[in-house]
Amino acid sequence: MPPLPTLPPPSTPPNEKALAVLRAAAAVFLVHGFSAATTDMIQREARVSKATVYAHYPNKEALFIAVIEHECARMAATFRAIATAPNAISASLFELGRAYLQIVLSPIGLALFRVVAAEAPRFPDLGRSFFLAGPQNIAALVTSHIERAARAGEIDVQAVGVDAAAALFLSMLRGDSQLESLTHPDASPSAAQVDDWVRLAVTTFLLAFGKRAAKGAR
Amino acid sequence: MPPLPTLPPPSTPPNEKALAVLRAAAAVFLVHGFSAATTDMIQREARVSKATVYAHYPNKEALFIAVIEHECARMAATFRAIATAPNAISASLFELGRAYLQIVLSPIGLALFRVVAAEAPRFPDLGRSFFLAGPQNIAALVTSHIERAARAGEIDVQAVGVDAAAALFLSMLRGDSQLESLTHPDASPSAAQVDDWVRLAVTTFLLAFGKRAAKGAR
DNA sequence: GTCTATATGAAGATAGAC
DNA sequence: GTCTATCTTCATATAGAC
């Protein structure tokens, strides 16, 4: 009897310990930033010896880069999931906006932004990765949604163009909410507060680009 | 309501060396952030001995706090200068917006934002100081400008309120420009690019809140 | 690959002369 | 107040056994 083939480890089997290191590193780097984080913290958080950390990553910088790239990929996957979700076709600006803001204002979203903004001068590639995985990704989503709405005659964005309209919508969403959350780390915004922000952005967007009926009816 | 205390003047003794230390510390902290900055760098930059640094500031944290408070106070002063400038009464949204964006996107403005965002969890007071000195300050300015325009019948912001309208205008201004500058530290936006961003925000603001003639005339 | 133990350097902060 | 010299601690990274 041939031996039952043990389930072959997937192509790139991240070693169990290697994964523990990466997860621990994420936790530590996202809380303390690059410089204040120490390999000791990571080693302890991963319940692993210091040598094990260096067995999988050549140095602290490489580990940091791996962490941020990993988080960016997760963020990108989240946005792709929104894009391909069954309700995507009927997704309103409001739903899209709320999904975006919930990610941006989540503890991980804020921490990632803090770290990337702070370390972009030192790690320029990470700044670009973050921009592509997050803002760029969601902007493409919103743009296509706006394009559809424009073709359907629901809105008119000729004054600024589709891309700018999408960017402005996202800017209005992020604007104050992200700034307040970044500078007031104690207070986490409530779900109701988030909804208020989204409504405000949607209202203003439609005032600017909605068909005149919406405004004239007032 | 207790009177808003003006930011307490940073305890800067008129001492020549103390000022050199503070200026050097600003240069170092704004470039490297708190943790990566070392007192050696500051000492060297100030052309002063290490003991002199500690003669004026009890430790690295206190020096950092002094630096950030000082920069926030400078920023607040800049905005107050805009407010009281002779041309303030005739200042258009465009001029106000450009002044704001030039400060936000300046090397110091970006560096200050990076550092404050990164260190706000560790130094919550600095987050608050920054918010009051910068966004809050300029928002008050824009709000009063919008209020005047609304009373003059040039715009109608009843749909969202004056405060929200001001916040949205500033959010549209900052939005993409600040995000791109933060994540792409190599490329500094040109003056023309800045003007484009301001025009875009003003255009959209007027589309949303301008009297219908502006929109109907299109 | 994983551990314990350690080398090596640098950081924050101080002592003591002037 | 200011300097030179130094103390102490701790960080990154490695050596060598298993």
Query: Does residue A88 share a domain with residue A46?
Result: no
Q: Is the pLDDT of residue A13 over 60?
A: no
In this predicted structure, what is the pLDDT of residue B83?
84
Are both A75 and A99 inside the same structural domain?
Answer: yes
Q: Is residue B63 part of a domain?
A: no
Per-residue pLDDT tens digits of chain B, which is 218 residues long: 454 444 444 444 557 889 999 999 999 999 999 999 999 999 999 999 999 999 999 999 999 999 999 999 999 999 999 888 877 767 789 999 999 999 999 999 999 999 999 999 999 999 999 999 999 999 999 999 999 999 999 999 999 999 999 999 999 999 999 999 999 999 889 999 999 999 999 999 999 999 865 444 44
For residue A144, is it within any domain? yes
In a domain, B3, yes or no: no
Q: What's the average model confidence in pLDDT over A114-125?
A: 98
* Closest CA–CA distance from residue B197 to any residue of chain A (Å): 10
Q: Higher model confidence: residue A8 or residue B45? A: B45
Give A47's pLDDT tier (boundaries 50, 70, 90): very high
In a domain, B16, yes or no: yes
In chain B, the DSSP E strands lie at none
Mean pLDDT of A195-218: 81
**A7 is a domain residue:** no
Looking at chain A, how many residues does it have? 218
Q: In this model, does residue A171 exceed pLDDT 60?
A: yes
> Both B121 and B48 in a single domain?
no
**Amino acid A211: pLDDT:** 84
Chain D bases having any atom below 7 Å from a protein CB: 1-6, 10-16
Q: Residue with structure tokens 């400060």?
A: B103
Res A91: pLDDT? 75
List, as ranges, residues 87-146 from B with C-beta within 8 Å of A: 113-118, 120-121, 124, 127-128, 130-131, 135
Per-residue pLDDT averaged across A55-62, rounded? 97
Assess whether B125 and B36 both reside in one domain.
no
Provide the number of CB pairs (under 8 Å) joining chain A to chain B.
Answer: 149
Tokens at B217, concatenated: 């005339």
**A49: nearest nucleotide, CA–C1' criterion:** C3
Rounded to an integer, the average pLDDT of A122-151 is: 95
Q: What pLDDT was estimated at residue A157?
A: 96
Would the Cβ of A38 be found within 7 angstroms of any atom in strand D?
yes
Question: Which of A207, A209, A218 has the highest number of chain B CBs within 10 A, making it the mutation to test binding with B?
Answer: A207
CATH number at residue A206: 1.10.357.10
pLDDT for A1:
45
Domain range enclosing A150: 68-216
Confidence of residue A212 (pLDDT cuts 50, 70, 90): low
A46 and A123, same domain (yes or no): no
Q: Which amino acid does the sequence have at B5? A: P
Q: Which residues on chain B are in Cβ contact (under 8 Å) with A142?
A: none
Helix, strand, coil % over all residues of chain A, rounded to 5 = 75, 0, 25
CA end-to-end span of chain B, whole Å? 46
Name the closest residue on chain A to residue B200, using Cα atoms: A160
Residues A122 and A49 in one domain: no
Euclidean distance between CA atoms B167 and B203, whole angstroms:
16
Is the Cβ of A161 closer than 8 Å to some Cβ of chain B?
no
In a domain, A42, yes or no: yes
Distances (CA, A) of B94 to A74, A133, B175, B190, B197: 39, 32, 16, 17, 10
Instruction: Decide if B79 contacts B137 (C-beta within 8 A).
Output: yes
Interatomic distance A32 CA / D1 C1' (Å):
36
Residues whose CB falls within 8 Å of the CB of residue A56, separated by 6 or more in sequence, listed in order: A15, A17, A18, A21
pLDDT reported for residue B63? 98
Tell me what pLDDT residue A2 has: 52
Query: How many domains does one find in chain A?
Result: 2
Asked if the model's pLDDT at residue A12 lies above 50, the reply is no
Closest CA to B167 of B129, B141, B128: B141
B62 assigned to some structural domain: no
Per-residue confidence band for A217, with pLDDT thresholds at 50, 70 and 90? very low
Question: Residue A149: pLDDT above 50?
Answer: yes
pLDDT band at A8 (very low <50, low <70, confident <90, very high): very low
Q: Please list the residues that pair with A210 across neighbouring strands.
A: A155
Do A100 and A35 reside in the same domain of the chain? no
Report the percentage of chain A scoring pLDDT > 90: 82
Domain match, B53 and B149 both: no
Do A106 and A145 lie in one domain? The reply is yes
Mean pLDDT (chain A) is 90
Query: Average of pLDDT values for A121-135?
Result: 97
A72 & A167 share domain? yes
Contact assessment for residue B152 and residue B164, using Cβ atoms and an 8 Å cutoff: no
Residue B105: name the closest of B171, B169, B174 by CA: B174
Q: Is residue A1, in this structure, part of any structural domain at all? A: no
* CATH number of the domain within which A36 lies: 1.10.10.60
Structure confidence at residue A14 (pLDDT): 64
Mean pLDDT of A78-103: 87
**A130 and A190 assigned to the same domain:** yes
In this structure, are A53 and A72 located in the same domain?
A: no
A173-to-A35, A102, A123, B127, B167 alpha-carbon distances in Å? 31, 11, 27, 21, 11
